[in-house]
Amino acid sequence: MSLGRKIIWRLEALAYDVVGLVLKLFPFGGISAFGGWLLRLIGPLTSKHRIAKTGLEIAFPDKSEAEITQILKDQWDNTGRTFAEFPITHRIKAFEDGRVTVKGLEIFKANAPAIIVTGHFANWEIMATVLTQSDLPVRITYRKINNSYIDERVRKQRERYGTKFLIQKSTHRGGRELLEALKNGESVALLNDQKFNTGVSVPFFGKDAMTAQGATRLALKTGRPLLPMGITREGPNFTVTFYEPIELETTGNRERDVLSGVTKVTEFIVDRIREEPAQWFWVHRRWPKALYKKD
């Protein structure tokens, strides 16, 4: 690492620490509301706004300009709240303080150990909180942050509310640890809604998108249930829901069964987005870059 990069990363980590210290002084609801207000203000001024707008237009071609504009405003509110809430997520006691309503926990308990699949809905960190405070062993995959100093802080912060991590997903070592966790009676949780260049192409709102296949392959290999999970927010309060397992095909043609399973997972993701379109992470380029280019 170059000296310049190291200095920049340390300055970014210092800023992260300062923000975290300031946020500790305020209540969860106030911090959430402030984050929403701030991103509603500055989000539309960033390059991410066009990405989000294009994505919404692809997904909802029948919605009017006014409807898209309102969803954009609301999604910046959700994104701002999520980012502001993250440094203080450890305050959440999912089964005690009334801020989180959990539905379908009995489904999780009946199917554990399971391969839990979900997406970047509302504040996805709250789902991790529910999983790690459920008294059932769960490990959660993660993608390392480029800034190693911030990555270390984020890992420690998440561990404060009980999260156990696997090696970065999409690595051979990570795959082995996923298998070992399931064999040891631990569930594993994966986000399965973002672009994955080495995945398989399945329809996402009617447009082909490269999608990770690891969760489906793991379920087919181990025979453990593929259990979908979702979350919605109402201001600083949340509802986390476990759904019935996704039924996978076992025809003997593994690649066809994988494609079918990934398609079903993606359909689950799309259904949840349709229910609360402003509570998904639209600033991510989910489709090929060509679809985001304007004439």
Domain ranges of the chain: 3-285
DSSP state of 289: G
What distance in Å separates the CA atoms of residue 55 and residue 49, rounded to the nearest whole number? 10
Tell me how many degrees the CA angle 272-169-181 measures, rounded to the nearest 5: 95
Whether residue 248 contacts residue 257, with contact meaning beta carbons closer than 8 Å, is answered with yes
For residue 187, report the phi and psi dihedrals to the nearest 5 degrees: -75, 160
Whether residue 287 contacts residue 209, with contact meaning beta carbons closer than 8 Å, is answered with yes
Residue whose entry in the numeric block shows the structure tokens 């990770």:
212
For residue 43, report the phi and psi dihedrals to the nearest 5 degrees: -55, -45
Q: What is the pLDDT along the chain (295 residues), one digit of tens a residue?
A: 677 777 888 887 888 788 778 777 899 999 999 999 999 999 999 999 999 999 999 999 999 999 999 999 999 999 999 999 988 888 899 999 899 999 999 999 999 999 999 999 999 999 999 998 998 989 888 777 777 877 887 777 777 666 665 555 555 666 788 899 899 999 999 999 999 999 999 999 999 999 999 999 999 999 999 999 999 999 999 999 999 999 999 999 999 999 999 999 999 999 999 999 999 999 999 999 989 986 4
Whether residue 31 contacts residue 88, with contact meaning beta carbons closer than 8 Å, is answered with yes
pTM score over 0.85 = yes
Whether residue 249 contacts residue 28, with contact meaning beta carbons closer than 8 Å, is answered with no
